Structure formats: structure tokens, C-alpha cells
Amino acid sequence: MDTVATAATATVETHCPYCALQCGMGLQRADGPDGPAVEVVPRPAFPVNRGALCGKGRTAPELLAPGARLTVPLVRDPASGALVPADWDTALDRVAEGLRRTGAVYGRDAVGVFGGGGLTNEKAYTLGKFARVVLGTSQIDYNGRFCMSSAAAAQGRAFGLDRGLPFPLADVARTGCVLLVGSNLAETMPPALRYLTELKENGGRLIVVDPRRTRTAEQADLHLAPRPGTDLALALGLLHLVVAEGRTDEEFLAARTRGWPAARAAAMAHWPELVERLTGVPVPQLREAVALFCDASSSMVLTARGPEQQAKGTDTVGAWINLCLATGRAGRELSGYGCLTGQGNGQGGREHGQKADQLPGYRRLDDPAARRHVAGVWGVDPDALPGPGRSAYELLDALGGDVRALLLMGSNPVVSAPRAAHVEERIRALDFLVVADVVRSETAELADVVLPVAQWAEETGTTTNLEGRVLLRRRALDPPPGVRTDLEVLGGLAARLGQRTGFPTDPEEVFEELRRASAGGPADYSGISYARIAAEDGVFWPCPAPPTRAVTGAQAAGGGPAGVPAHPGTPRLFLDRFATPDGRARFVPVTHRPADEETDAGYPVVLTTGRVLAQYQSGAQTRRVAALNAAEPGPYVELHPRLADRLGVADGEPVAVVSRRGRAVAPARVTRAIRPDTVFMPFHWPGAGRANTLTNPALDPVSGMPEFKVCAVRIERLDG
């Protein structure tokens, strides 16, 4: 199915390798003095970004150059301790032996697997199958756990189904009011900012909740700046005012929800003056927010990492969902709750088996019917499938203890994990570490074997963007000699470990199996095909195949049997019913509680972390692009002038940020765009400025999300 350009004028339509917008782009191939290369060209017809790209997308082809990436396997030389080049047979033989030996000596759960939110659906699916069928381990999770797991859990509790946005992004521009919580779209997803601009041009209103006066907050009609870790109290305070002012939708509550009395009682304990003391948001602003949200004919709440990356993230998102339900702003046209997924395939990555408790199609691993269905597709005994394993941080924390060997694909936890210095220690304590990646990341430097794998423009595969739109990335050129795809790596390892069938390396063949495995599940892809995605600019799941015929033949091209139309896909969820057994949404009563770690005399300031425009995630790829490094070359500490004056710190001077877990050093950026009791650090860099050295790994009890967004620190001035 690959469409490969062979001349400078031929354009391959594909998608950006970075965030969950999965912006459409074109790639033109040209043969230069150093071999084939590609250039990004706009793709204005694709509806999500309509041709717009941020700097990361425009410069993405720079990482395809051999000098910017891994092109040969590396193995640890026992004599020198250095990573040295090796051929593929040697590298894969060593990996297979290391994984086999660990399982034989310590048990199958002594082998762990850690995936990434950038893996295509085909790779995520195969990695989950490899862990459970070949390795027989329950110890698999992925870095997408750190992305939107709290929102996923809250949506599942309330609606019976989790999809980042239950409506297309285009609906955002047409609603009456957007309440955006903990998201800085201007820097994290710049092409999406146009939807907020169009919202205001159409007469809609924008409320932004963020402790910082970000570029996105600058666009707001109302900016609420709560103390980090108090988003739950803020949502409850708004719901209290909705009830007190008689703004609930009683007809909607009676017809389409359950559990409102208990949720209402919980909210009424959060009166406005209490919420002002907890959050720092004045009562008049709370009342203004309620008026803007409720006076509009339609409204949306959109959350991102701000409220989600907390040890109470599931309850926090649940409180914002309760606000939508109480006002009748869910399950209706141009209204609802949505989560802005962060990583490129954070949505699809957890739908098909990378997550510790899930099987393909968003099936639960502890559901006997789900186990039987997927085991039937895989040709194994359902009882042979392991049960649920540890969540991401719990898995990383177990390395070197219960988990002695780790296969890691597409992640860099040495930089991106909370309490990163401790995670680095645990990785170093492993008996055996294998890393498959496109670059020599900080985590790869610690590996026993490093496997160079193909990139986005060198392989075909599907991703699922934040709207639930399943998309097709197409191969534009071949990988360099010495580089293999992740599917080839897993197929080669499976064969060496005794599983010679069931692990195809052709992505479309894998997708056909994924369709069968997902059929009948919450995330049903069985009616989606490569041909149909290409013809329709993506297909929204759930999209079941017509029930009268197996997923073969005409359906493989997107159609059904003669006279049976193909399912249209589902751009908008919940308009008729929610995905619960009785079709009604569920209120979950929640109450405010403090952050896991409060400030005190020794650590009097709150640290919050996040992203910047020019870098992405752990920076393993973007830090290798000269233009992006020129725009944002290193870490910094953002602090208010009042705090800077008290410390005697001038703009640009180095400061130390110290938490109970460690110390990071970076230049100060003095700005009035942040609260005086809060400092901000971006988390894209390793070394002395590694923000995640400081962050708190306290976990949400429902989602397993760590508390990245709030911890107690002190700031120290550094002489010289």
C-alpha cells in the first residue's frame, strides 16, 4: 500500500511525527549529493491543520539524515564497557539470549517492556502481543501513561468510553464558549490555536485556566490563575455557583444522567470564599466564569496536562466533567468535555495493548470475554495470557528489583520520568537493557544493546489523533542501510524466541489483524482500512464492520457486502446516548484535597513543569535540530519579579531549584506572567537542568498518573 515518491515533483501525503494533532503534510523527495532526502510541503486540504505547521513539523526531515540518527546496532563491549557497532544478527541474538535467560532464571515477570506514545498503532499492537505471547510477561506499560491517563479514567467513569475529543476540532470554533484548563496550545499545538481564534471571530468566548499568563492565556476573555494543584477546588467552586444561581439543566439531569444528588452535595461544600482562599482566584472572577460558560448557547471544557498530571488528576477531570453534565453541556451538538491528547499516538497507543491493563480494541485485560476474543485472534489459550501489570512509574521503580531486564521502544525515561535521578538509578541497576530508538538518547546510552529503527517518513503505519481520527502515515523513502523497522525487530526477536509465526513485518498485514482483534470492542477499528483512510482523510472510531460478513474482501477496501453500507465512522460521540449500560452519564462525587506535597518553611515555593514551543517531550529528537535549539537552547526557571527581588536574583542569573528529590540548576527568567508563589521549568533537557529530577512520583490511585504539575521546592541563588 506504500506510495513512494521517486522524483522531486512527486508528493507523498503523510502526517507530522510529533504531537497528537498529527498535522497533514506533504513530502517531496529529491536526490542530493548525500543520497535521497525529503522536503516538507503544505497539505492545505487536510482538515485538522489546513496546511499550517509549527517549526517542529517543518524541520522534522532533518532527523532523517544519517548524521543525526542511529544507523547501526550497538552492543556493550564487556571489556571496555563501551557501546560498539555490531551486525544485526549479533545484536538480536544477544537480545534474545538476555531476555530468555532472565525469564528462565527469575520468572517471566522479571522481563519488562516499556513502550512509547509515538509508536504507530501497528507497532503498539505488536509490542503488546509480543510481551504477552512471546515473553509471557504482565510487566508492560508505556510513557503515554504520563500523558492523559487521568482524563481517560475520568471519561470512562462518567461516559463509559474514553476518546480524547468526542467531537472534531472544527466544532471548537463553532461553540459559544470554551473553558480551556491547563493547556498552552500556542506553544504545544500551535496549528490548533486557529480554532480558538476562529471561536472569537465567530463571537464565542474563551476562558483559560493556567497559573501562568501564557501566549494562549493572552488570547482569553478571562484568565483564571489558580495556585498549582487547586484545579479541583476551582471546578467545584464553579459548580457550586452553577447550583446556587439556578443554572443547572434539570431536564438533561433527569433524562440523561445518574448520581447528581451526591455530586451536588459534594460541590456545595466548596463555597466561593473558600475556593478563593484555596486557589487564589477572586470570587468575582469565579462568577464571571460561570456567566460566560452558562450564558453561551453551547459550551465546551477542554483539559490537558495541567489538571491531569496530579495525584488527584482523575477526580480533578471528573469535577470538570460534572460541571459539563450539570449544565447540560455534554452529549449535545457543539457542547461537551474533551481532553487534548499530547503525544503523537497517545490515543491509539493505549487502545491496542501497550497499557498494563488493556488488550486491543480498548478491552480490559481482566475481562474473560475480552481475553477469549483476543486470544482467539492470536491463536493462544486465553488462560496463557498474563494478567494486568504495573503502571508506568511503578514499572520503572521496580527495575533492578523484581524486573531484571527491560525492552524499551520509543521512550526516554531518563529525562521524561518523574523523580528522574531515581529512575536513572533503577535503569542502571538492570541486568539487561535493550533500547530501540531512532537516536542515541540519554536512556540508550545506558543500554546493553541499542537497535536503530526506522522513522516516520521511512515506514507506513496508522496513528489516531486527539479527535479519534485514524490516519495513515505513508513511507516516502527507504531507511538507511543498517536500519530496520520496529516490526522487523519484533518479528526477528519473536522468531529467535520460538514464535516463528504471528509477527508479520508488513504494517498493513498487522493492521488487518488489529481490525479483527478490535472488532466488537469499545475502540472498534474493524470497519477501517488503509484504502478507506486514504480516501476519507481519516476515519473516526468506533467504526465497526457490517455484521453480516467477516472483515475480508470488499470490506478491506472500506465497503461491506453487496447492499450493506459501510459504517460512516463516529465523529461525534454521545449525541444519542452515553456508552454506559443504560445510556446515561454517571456523576462521580469528588471533593478537594491538597497536593501530595505542600509547601513549608524549607520548601516554600510551588514548582510546575511543561513544554516550550521549539522542543518536544524529552527533547531526544528536537535537541538535534539546529533551528529549534537556536530558538530554545536550554532549560530555565521562570519566576515572578517579587520572588526574584526577595532572593536577589537578576534575569539570566543561574539559580538552583531544590526539592526533596534533588537539585536542578538553570538560568532565571524573571516575568510577571507567573504567580509570585510559583516557578516554572520546561522538562526537555537532561543534565544539571533536568526538571524531572525534582518532580514528585506520587500516583493517582485510579490512573497511575504521577504528580508532575506540583511539588514543593526552594530557590537558591548561586554566586558566580
Residue reference for cell 476474543 = 373
- 608-660 tens-digit pLDDT: 999 999 999 999 999 999 999 999 999 999 999 999 999 999 999 999 999 99
b or e along 132-147 (b: 16 or more beta carbons within 10 Å of the residue's beta carbon)?
A: bbbbebbbbbbbbbbb
Mean pLDDT value of segment 418-430: 98
Could you tell me the pLDDT band of residue 1, with boundaries at 50, 70 and 90?
very low
Mean pLDDT value of segment 440-464: 97
Could you tell me the pLDDT band of residue 674, with boundaries at 50, 70 and 90?
very high
CB 206 within 8 A of CB 221: yes
Mean pLDDT value of segment 265-276: 98
Mean pLDDT value of segment 267-288: 98
CB within 8 A of 709, min separation 6: which ones? 182, 228, 229, 305, 306, 309, 310, 608, 609
What secondary structure does DSSP assign to 609-674, as a single string?
Answer: EE--TT--TT-TTGGG-HHHHHHS-S--EEE-HHHHHHHT--TT-EEEEEETTEEEEEEEEE-TTB
Q: Is the pLDDT of residue 9 over 90?
A: no
- 658-671 tens-digit pLDDT: 999 999 999 999 99
Alpha-carbon span 421 to 693, nearest angstrom: 5
Cα angle 28-33-37, degrees, rounded to a multiple of 5:
25
Query: If DSSP codes are grouped into helix, strand and coil, which group holds residue 591?
Result: coil
3-state helix, strand, coil split of the chain in percent (to 5) is 35, 20, 45
- 305-345 tens-digit pLDDT: 999 999 999 999 999 999 999 999 999 999 999 999 889 89
Q: Give the pLDDT confidence score for residue 148 in this predicted structure.
A: 87
Q: Is the pLDDT of residue 710 over 80?
A: yes
Q: Is the pLDDT of residue 300 over 70?
A: yes
Q: Is the pLDDT of residue 556 over 80?
A: no
Q: Give the pLDDT confidence score for residue 2 in this predicted structure.
A: 43
- 206-217 tens-digit pLDDT: 999 999 999 999
Q: Give the pLDDT confidence score for residue 243 in this predicted structure.
A: 98
Q: Is the pLDDT of residue 606 over 60?
A: yes
Mean pLDDT value of segment 589-594: 97
Could you tell me the pLDDT band of residue 374, with boundaries at 50, 70 and 90?
very high
pTM: 0.95
- 454-492 tens-digit pLDDT: 999 999 999 999 999 999 999 999 999 999 999 999 999
Mean pLDDT value of segment 550-558: 47
Q: Give the pLDDT confidence score for residue 36 in this predicted structure.
A: 72
Indicate the average pLDDT of the chain. Answer: 95
Q: Which domains does the chain have, with CATH numbers?
A: 11-68 (2.20.25), 74-145+345-458+481-507 (3.40.50.740), 165-340 (3.40.228.10), 605-717 (2.40.40.20)
Could you tell me the pLDDT band of residue 548, with boundaries at 50, 70 and 90?
low
Alpha-carbon span 248 to 94, nearest angstrom: 63
Q: Is the pLDDT of residue 553 over 60?
A: no
Cα angle 6-9-13, degrees, rounded to a multiple of 5:
80
Q: Give the pLDDT confidence score for residue 317 in this predicted structure.
A: 98
Neighbours of 640 (CB within 10 A): 19
- What pairs with residue 111 in β-bridges? 405
Q: Give the pLDDT confidence score for residue 350 in this predicted structure.
A: 87
Using CA atoms of 593, 676, 667, 719 in order, give the dihedral in degrees to the nearest 10. -110
Residue reference for cell 543561574 = 654
- 73-96 tens-digit pLDDT: 999 999 999 999 999 999 999 999
Query: If DSSP codes are grouped into helix, strand and coil, which group holds residue 262?
Result: helix
- 520-529 tens-digit pLDDT: 999 999 999 9
> Which residue, 54, 175, 115, 69, is CA-closest to 457?
69
Q: Is the pLDDT of residue 550 over 70?
A: no
Alpha-carbon span 273 to 292, nearest angstrom: 20
Alpha-carbon span 407 to 409, nearest angstrom: 7
- What pairs with residue 339 in β-bridges? 303
Q: Give the pLDDT confidence score for residue 10 in this predicted structure.
A: 83
Q: Give the pLDDT confidence score for residue 342 in this predicted structure.
A: 84
Mean pLDDT value of segment 562-571: 84
Alpha-carbon span 356 to 131, nearest angstrom: 10
Alpha-carbon span 687 to 285, nearest angstrom: 41
Q: Is the pLDDT of residue 4 over 50?
A: no
CB within 8 A of 490, min separation 6: which ones? 123, 126, 127, 130, 503
